[in-house]
Amino acid sequence: MHLVLSPWEFEFFRRGLVAAVLVGGITGLVGTYVVLRGMSYIGHGLSHAVFGGAVVAYVMDLNFYLGASLWGLLSAWLIHALTGRRGIKADAAIGVVTTASFAVGVALISRGRRFTRNFEAALFGNILGVTAADLWVIGAVCLGALVLVLFLYKEFLYTTFDRESAQVYGVATHTAEAILALLLAAVVIASMQVIGVTMLAAAIVTPAITARLLTERFDRMLWGAGGIGAGTAAVGIYLSFVFNAASGATIVLTEAAVFGLVFLLTWRHRRLRPSSREPEHEHLHEHVGRLHLHPHPHGPEGTSHGHTHPHRAPRWSL
């Protein structure tokens, strides 16, 4: 009982727990868009890029959030400027810019040989690193994100699902995408202290894919991912205290464990789920001048391989 209640005696733990729950919730929420847009690599890259800015800000004695934000914007602009030029694809541009940016941070730290607790926190996450000022920033980003997700719910959803049609039906898709990118950057910067740069990509993606396994509806996935993120972060931060391990790692491991559990529990359910499609069966039939056997659906709806079966061959059900 002592072990269960003891962390509550420490103010840093209570502060860390609040920060973790807020960060877990907001990374889960934003992660829904990241996963559905197939931008997981952006989350990974952005967090690494921002680390370079954080170190530069530290060396130059600037404000952490200011340095990280400016650096993040610069990286985003560089990626945008490189993509599509002379055959450079987005993933390659992200790879070059963000890792080089991360390397700037690592080089500066190794030169000064001042691998302090602050940078360890930024890399792997540490509840001890969360100050009252950090908590205010995290709270403000959470509130801002929540307002945006609710206020621009349709814009974000429609742009993510079907960009061109959304534009035809009147959605300002470019604006929606820009706001979504800025939101992701803000969440990454606010989450760095708690989750850590190296763990952030997993914290963004895992709650969202866990929620995706549990539902076929967007709203449930969105709020579910937020809930799973907040819940697993609370458990993770507690484990971090108990085992004296980096908070980013324990949060990510908790999320991964929950994902694994949900994946296994929904395995049978998915496989046995009745489908509205026609059942497949095989029989001998002819097309392209050849008689052969393979499974294909029947009924009024489409054939499985894009051409029709004249049923000239006898129907031998197998």
Partner 1 sequence: MADVPALAFERVTCGYGRQVIFADVDLRISVGTFAAVVGPTGSGKTTLLRATLGLLSPVAGSVQVFGQPPGRAPGGLGYVPQLELVDWTFPMTVEDVVVMGCYRQMGRWPRPRRRERRAVAALLERLGIADCTHAPLRELSGGQQQRVFLARALIARPPLLLLDEPTAGVDLSTQHEILHLLGELNAEGVTILLTTHDLNAVAAHLPWVICFNRGVVAAGDPDTVLTPEVLGRTYQADIVVVETEAGRFMAHATPLQLRDSRAGNRHAPRA
Write out the residues near partner 1 by the rule CB under 8 A: 36, 150-151, 153-154, 158, 161-162, 164-171, 212, 215-221, 275-278, 286, 289, 291, 300-303, 306, 308, 312-313
Helix or strand (DSSP H, E) at 17: helix 11-36
Q: Residue with structure tokens 């400027």?
A: 81
Q: In the complex with partner 1, which residue's Cβ is closer, 244 or 276?
A: 276
Buried b (16+ CB within 10 A) or exposed e, 195-215: bbbbbbbbbbbbbbbbbbbbe
Q: In the complex with partner 1, which residue's Cβ is closer, 10 or 219?
A: 219
CA of 294: how far to CAs of 287, 304, 309, in Å?
12, 10, 12
Q: In the complex with partner 1, which residue's Cβ is closer, 51 or 158?
A: 158
Q: How far is the CB of 255 from partner 1 (least distance, A)?
A: 19
Q: Residue with structure tokens 């085992």?
A: 243
Q: How far is the CB of 160 from partner 1 (least distance, A)?
A: 8
Q: In the complex with partner 1, which residue's Cβ is closer, 91 or 219?
A: 219
Q: How far is the CB of 47 from partner 1 (least distance, A)?
A: 25
Q: How far is the CB of 117 from partner 1 (least distance, A)?
A: 41
Q: How far is the CB of 16 from partner 1 (least distance, A)?
A: 32
Q: In the complex with partner 1, which residue's Cβ is closer, 113 or 312?
A: 312
Q: In the complex with partner 1, which residue's Cβ is closer, 36 or 182?
A: 36
Q: How far is the CB of 246 from partner 1 (least distance, A)?
A: 33
One DSSP character per residue, 194-213 reads HH-TTTHHHHHHHHHHHHHH
Q: How far is the CB of 235 from partner 1 (least distance, A)?
A: 25
Q: How far is the CB of 311 from partner 1 (least distance, A)?
A: 12
| Nearest partner of 180 among 24, 29, 23, 19, judged by Cα | 29
**Alpha-helix residue ranges (DSSP H) falling in 40-152:** 40-59, 64-82, 90-112, 117-124, 132-151
Interatomic CA distance for residues 179 and 223, integer angstroms: 20
Q: In the complex with partner 1, which residue's Cβ is closer, 15 or 309?
A: 309
The pair of structure tokens assigned to 230 is 């907040």
Interatomic CA distance for residues 123 and 194, integer angstroms: 10
At 308 the three-state DSSP class reads coil
Q: In the complex with partner 1, which residue's Cβ is closer, 77 or 151?
A: 151
Residues 198 and 247: beta-carbon distance below 8 Å: no
What dihedral angle (degrees, nearest 10) is formed by the CA atoms of 283, 274, 266, 153? 120
